[in-house]
Structures are given as structure tokens and as C-alpha cells.
Amino acid sequence: MSSQLEHPTLLIPGPIEFDDDVLQSMSHYSESHVGPGFVATFGDTISMLRKLFQTTDPSAQPFVISGSGTLGWDIVAANLVEAGEDVLVLSTGYFGDGFADCFETYGAKLTKLTGTVGGRPQLPEIEKALKSKKFKMVTVTHVDTSTGVLSELENLSKLVKSVSPETLLVVDGVCSVACHRMPGRPVDIHVQRQGHRGFQGAQDPARHVLCFHEELDADHAELRGQEAVLLRDALAAVDPRSAHRTHPDSVEAAIRALCDAPRGLGWIKKAVADLGLKQVASNPEDQAHGMTAIYLPEPVKATDLLPKLAKAGVVWAGGIHKEIAPKYVRFGHMGVSVTDPARKDIDKAIKALSNGLEECGYKA
């Protein structure tokens, strides 16, 4: 039973509902950054992050970094790519496009492959692009929260490795880490990042995690002026004695809550399908586990449905993909809302959806 004040259930693709332990850990008393308590917490956090990123590779190095999710884009674009270098961005929606904009801001030369709405770029076109020039980096949004499209990593990683082994593969995992299995070795993901989404609500000041799956050599990580501070701070944070900028208690509590979490969310997709609704991600293999983007049936409008859900105590998000924004809504099912079924958050949301649709004139 949650000890939190009664509040509307936040079921958007991030931020998400808090786990009680995570919320409480954020009021932890201050302690010395060189004291045994902090050092132990920090060490445990790093070990558990390896588990969360599903790697046993001893060279995989997680970093805990303070900042918003987009900071991860900045860290990558500012530190791992030089102005004028080529980057291939695989986009499946708004956030892939945002990552691309970030590279352009830092002066990279951009090639973007965009999937059809609700789909993803396919391997043959990616191979063609990879053979056309030498890319410093390929980026992929594992789950784009604007569309709920899941990108495939295993074959992509093999392709990059075989066609262009020097190219870095960067995965934006804001809405996928802890929701999806990472493909097993031999997979070559070089940088993977995680925001607060799958993290049981872990928030500032330590909610952002990067995992370098291979040691980045000097060639890959040239430091440039001011911007390089981001990466230098990240490197410093690996050493607990220099880690006082971050307070990892909330991250630690969040990971603890996740490591033993139940999996298997197929029933949520089924409940949506049983209402006769279609997902933006059309191919079942490309559908995210932690969220669902749902097309609205005739005659329902998002501006009518969302307030009805809110009245039933459920907060969902509207569409943000520029081509289809008014035609769909977004439902986040991550963190404690799924790991603690006793809360009944998801049942409440499905019931609210069914009733809301009916009130808007749609009958399943």
C-alpha cells in the first residue's frame, strides 16, 4: 500500500509514478562524499547498473550524471563527435529527430534515415548508408516515446560491426532500459543512456545514467573546450571520492526496485487491442513494452478523451509526432505502476479508457 498522498495516477511516457522507497530515499540526510556510507551506496549503484544494462563485460562502465534526458544527447554530441564529422541518425519519431538536431547544433554532418510513421528504418537502407561514407557514429532511439516504436538492436549492431567496425553505436534508452532485454553478446553497443523513465521515478539530482560498453579511446573521445566538462565530470563520477556532485541514493533505490521486477506486459497491449484500437507502431515486433501510442477511433478526439481520463484520476499524454499529433494518445506503463500490480494503476487506466471512449461516442 503506497504511503503517498492521494493523487492522479501519472501514466505518461515519463515522468512516471514514484516507488515509495525511491521517494523516501530522496530525503536522505546529507553525508560525506568520502565516508563509508556514500562509498558503499555508490559502489552498489555501479554494480547494479551493470546488471540493469545487462552486461557482464568488465569494461562496461556506467556513469551516474545529474541532468535531464536531453543532457545525454549533449554529452554524446559534444564529446564523441567533432564538428564536420559524419553521423548517421536512425529516427523513429520526435526524439530521433531531436537527437539529430542536437548533432547539427554541435556542427556534425548529419545523415538521417527516418522510418515510415509507426515503423523504423530497415537494415538494407541502413547498410546502403553505411557503405556510402565513413560515419563516426550511428545513433538509434531504442524506444521513441512519440510513437512507441521499438528499434531492433541485435542485427543493427552486427551490421554496423561488419560494414563499419570503427563506427560507434549509440543507443538512446530513455524508455527502454529495464523495459526491454538488451541483445546478448556479441553486440557492440558503445554508449547507452537511460533517463528517469524505467527508473521507478528516480529524479534529480541523480537521475541520468550513461553506460559505456567499451572503453572509449582518445580518438573517440577527444575533449573540446567547455563542452568537454560534461564527459570529464562523468569520468570523475566513477571515482566515489570525486562523486560529490551526484547523490545516488534515489538511483540506487530505483535500481534495487527494478532488479527483481516482474516482466511480461503483453496483457496491456491485448487490453488495448480488445477495445478495437490500433497502435501507432503497426508491427507487433516493433512495439515498445513500456508504453503504447494509440490511434483514436472515430469520432473520438484527444481533447475530449484526455479530460475524461483525468476526471477518472488517470493522466495520459497527447500525440507529439508532427504528422499525426491530433490522431493519437500516449499511455506510459512503466516503473511501479507495472512492478506493483497491487496498485491497480493499469487496470484503472484501461477502465478509464473504455469508459472515456464510450462517453466520447465510441463503442468497442
Ligand X SMILES: Cc1ncc(COP(=O)(O)O)c(C=O)c1O
State which residue, 210 or 357, has the beta carbon closest to ligand X: 210
Q: In the bound complex, what is the minimum distance in angstroms from residue 351's beta carbon to ligand X?
A: 26
Of 25 and 141, which CB lies nearer to ligand X in the complex structure? Answer: 141
CB of 151 to ligand X, least distance (A): 10
95/199 with CB nearer ligand X = 95
Closest to ligand X by CB, 144 or 233: 144
- The x, y and z cell numbers of residue 43, run together, are 559502489
Residue 266: CB atoms within 10 Å: 11
**Residue among 46 and 175 whose Cβ is closer to ligand X:** 175
Name the residues that contact ligand X, by CB under 6 A: 14, 68-70, 95, 141, 144-145, 172, 174-175, 195
Question: What's the closest the beta carbon of residue 93 comes to ligand X, in angstroms?
Answer: 8
Residue 292 beta carbon to ligand X: minimum distance, rounded to whole angstroms: 14
107: left (phi over 0), alpha (psi -120 to 50) or beta: left
Rounded least distance, CB 207 to ligand X, Å: 8
Contact (Cβ atoms closer than 8 angstroms) between residue 60 and residue 213: yes
Taking the least distance from each CB to ligand X, the nearer of 195 and 356 is 195
Provide, rounded to whole angstroms, the least separation between the CB of residue 38 and ligand X: 25
Minimum distance from residue 266 beta carbon to ligand X (Å): 22
| Smallest separation, CB 156 to ligand X (Å) | 16
Q: Which is nearer to ligand X, 41 or 147 (CB)?
A: 147
Nearer to ligand X among residue 179 and residue 300 (C-beta): 179
Which position's Cβ is nearest ligand X? Answer: 69
Q: Rounded to the nearest whole angstrom, what is the least distance from the CB of residue 334 to ligand X in the complex?
A: 11
CB-wise, 174 or 268, nearer to ligand X?
174
Using H for helix, E for strand and C for coil, what is the string for the chain? CCCCCCCCEEECCCCECCCHHHHHHCCCCCCCCCCHHHHHHHHHHHHHHHHHCCCCCCCCEEEEECCCHHHHHHHHHHHCCCCCCEEEEEECCHHHHHHHHHHHHCCCEEEEEECCCCCCCCHHHHHHHHHHCCCCEEEEECEECCCCEECCCHHHHHHHHHHCCCCEEEEECCCCECCECCCCCCCCCCEEEECCCCCCCCCCCCCEEEEECCCCCCCCCCCCCHHHHHHHHHHHHCCHHHCCCCCCHHHHHHHHHHHCCCCCCHHHHHHHHHCCCCECCCCHHHECCCEEEEECCCCCCHHHHHHHHHHCCEECEECCCCCCHHHEEEEECCCHHHHCHHHCHHHHHHHHHHHHHHHCCCCC
d(CA 126, CA 132): 10
